[in-house]
Amino acid sequence: MEFFTKKMKLPDADNALPGRSKEMSVPERHFVNGNLMKPPFPEDFEQAIFGMGCFWGAERHFWEQEGVYITAAGYAGGITPNPTYEEVCSGLTGHNEVVLVVFDPTVVTFEVLLALFWESHDPTQGMRQGNDVGTQYRSGIYTFSPEQSARAEASMAIFQNNLRKGGYEAITTEIYCAPEFYYAEHYHQQYLAKVPNGYCGLGGTGVCYKREAAKS
């Protein structure tokens, strides 16, 4: 019961694991499209970070979207620097499993990515996503500009209204400025491209976002 409690409650600085200064080693290039996995990214491209449950399935949703340059599985929103997967699963880092998305805004808008985010998981479940239970599975949007923040908040209002019509509870998604992103281990990167029948763990609500309601 104590372990379960830890997984459902975010740790404070006194209880978080110490982590390490060494960064995680990841492949130089994206397994699906061959683009560079780490900065510098092409000029004028934008970034966003999304948490929506297990990052294996979440990452695939975004790399399949036209206009996305790279995706990367990682950890963000917690305390522990450069955490390992096992540490994140312990619930003692405060981190969320997330996906970094680098995209060309002339090809795909942030609103389209937001629609994909909302429709691809259930954002009303708090510290879980389906059968995956724990603080690392919480719903989150981590933004890189005030404009992104405003659009994310507006999109949440739109989707909350649509969810209510479908009989769903209040959205629990956290939205704030992007914290430091820590790359996950190499074997997590583009996992479902390497293991096509691997575990996904994501399921949407069946409620549509209605992209036309969001103005760029």
pLDDT for position 7: 79
pLDDT for position 1: 39
Locus of tokens 């830890």: 6
CA distances from 166 to 46, 48, 81, 89, 208 (A): 33, 28, 40, 32, 10
Sign of the CA dihedral with 199 first, then 205, 70, and 73 last = negative
pLDDT for position 6: 55
Locus of tokens 């599975």: 137
Of 117, 120, 113, which Cα lies nearest the Cα of 206? 120
Asked whether residue 122 is domain-assigned, the answer is yes
Asked whether residue 115 is domain-assigned, the answer is yes
Asked whether residue 136 is domain-assigned, the answer is yes
Parallel, antiparallel or unpaired: strands 139-143 and 174-177 = parallel
Asked whether residue 77 is domain-assigned, the answer is yes
> How many domains are there within the chain?
1
Parallel, antiparallel or unpaired: strands 96-103 and 46-52 = antiparallel
pLDDT for position 45: 98
CATH number at 79 reads 3.30.1060.10
Q: Which listed residue (54, 89, 177, 200) is catalytic?
A: 54
Q: Where are the beta strands (DSSP E) in the chain?
A: 46-52, 68-76, 96-103, 128-129, 132-133, 139-143, 174-177, 182-183
Neighbours of 38 (CB within 10 A): 13
pLDDT for position 211: 57
Asked whether residue 9 is domain-assigned, the answer is no
| Domain range enclosing 150 | 42-211
For 187, the token pair is 């074997």
Active site residue 208: no
pLDDT for position 213: 39
pTM above 0.85, yes or no: yes
Under 8 Å between Cβ of 144 and 175: no
Asked whether residue 2 is domain-assigned, the answer is no
Q: One digit per residue, pLDDT tens: the chain, 216 residues? A: 345 555 799 999 999 999 999 999 999 999 999 999 999 999 999 999 999 999 999 999 999 999 999 999 999 999 999 999 999 999 999 999 999 999 999 999 999 999 999 999 999 999 999 999 999 999 999 999 999 999 999 999 999 999 999 999 999 999 999 999 999 999 999 999 999 999 998 989 999 998 543 444
pLDDT for position 72: 98
